[in-house]
Structure 1
Amino acid sequence: MDAFIRFANQSQGRDRLFRATQHACMLLRYLLESKADKEAVVMKLKSLESSVSTGRKWFRLGNVVHAIQATEQSIRVTDLVPRVCLTLANLNRVIYYVCDTVLWVKSVGLTSGVNREKWQTWAARHYYYFLLLSLVRDLYEILLQMDRVARDRAKREKSSRAPPGHSVVNEETEWLQSFLLLLFRSLKRHPPLLLDTVKNFCDILIPLNQLGIYKSNLGIVGLGGLVSSVAGLITVVYPQLKLKTR
Structure 2
Amino acid sequence: MDTWVRFNAQSQAKERVFRAAQYACTLLGYGLQKGGASVEFLKTVKQLEAHMSLTRKLMRLGNSAEAVEAAKRAVHLSDCVLRLCLTVAHLNRAMYFACDNVLWAGKAGLLPELDQDKWSQRSFRYYLFALILNLTRDAYEIRLLMERESRSSHGGSKATWDSSPSSSSPLENLSHPSSSSLPLGAVSLLSRRVSRQFRLLVTVLRANPPLLLDLLKNTCDVFIPLDRLGIYPSGQGFVGACGLASSVLSILTIVHPWLKLKP
Alignment of 1:194-213 (within 5 A): 194-213=212-231
User: Per-residue displacement from partner, 1:111-170 (whole Å, max 9, x unpaired)?
Assistant: 223221111111011111111111111110010111111112114657999x79999982
Q: Alignment RMSD, CA only?
A: 2.4
Which residue is equivalent to 1:177? Answer: 195
Alignment of 1:144-155 (within 5 A): 144-155=144-155
User: Per-residue displacement from partner, 1:13-62 (whole Å, max 9, x unpaired)?
Assistant: 01111111111111121122122245454333222211111111111002
The answer to whether residue 221 in structure 2 is matched with residue 221 in structure 1 is no
Which residue is equivalent to 2:68? Answer: 68
Q: Which runs of 5+ in 2 are unaligned?
A: 1-8, 171-184
Runs of 4 or more off by more than 6 Å in structure 1? Answer: 158-161, 163-169
Higher mean Cα deviation, 14-23 or 113-122? 113-122
Alignment of 1:1-246 (within 5 A): 10-155=10-155, 157=157, 170-245=188-263
Aligned residue-pair number: 237
- For residues 159 and 245 of structure 2, the distance between their equivalents in structure 1, rounded to whole angstroms, comes to 42
2:58–2:101 Cα contact (<8 Å) kept: no
Q: Which runs of 5+ in 1 are unaligned?
A: 1-8
- For residues 154 and 183 of structure 1, the distance between their equivalents in structure 2, rounded to whole angstroms, comes to 15
2:24–2:241 Cα contact (<8 Å) kept: yes
- For residues 207 and 149 of structure 1, the distance between their equivalents in structure 2, rounded to whole angstroms, comes to 34
- For residues 94 and 213 of structure 2, the distance between their equivalents in structure 1, rounded to whole angstroms, comes to 23
Q: For residues 227 and 156 of structure 1, do their structure 2 counterparts lie closer, same or farther at Cα, with a shift above 3 Å needed? A: farther
- For residues 47 and 237 of structure 1, the distance between their equivalents in structure 2, rounded to whole angstroms, comes to 29
- For residues 32 and 171 of structure 1, the distance between their equivalents in structure 2, rounded to whole angstroms, comes to 50
Per-residue deviation, 1:87: 0.8
Query: Which structure ranks higher in relative contact order (CA pairs < 8 Å, sequence separation ≥ 6)?
Result: 1
- For residues 159 and 247 of structure 2, the distance between their equivalents in structure 1, rounded to whole angstroms, comes to 44
- For residues 94 and 17 of structure 1, the distance between their equivalents in structure 2, rounded to whole angstroms, comes to 21
| TM-score (normalizing by structure 1) | 0.88
| TM-score (normalizing by structure 2) | 0.83
Which residue is equivalent to 2:180? Answer: none
- For residues 115 and 30 of structure 2, the distance between their equivalents in structure 1, rounded to whole angstroms, comes to 29
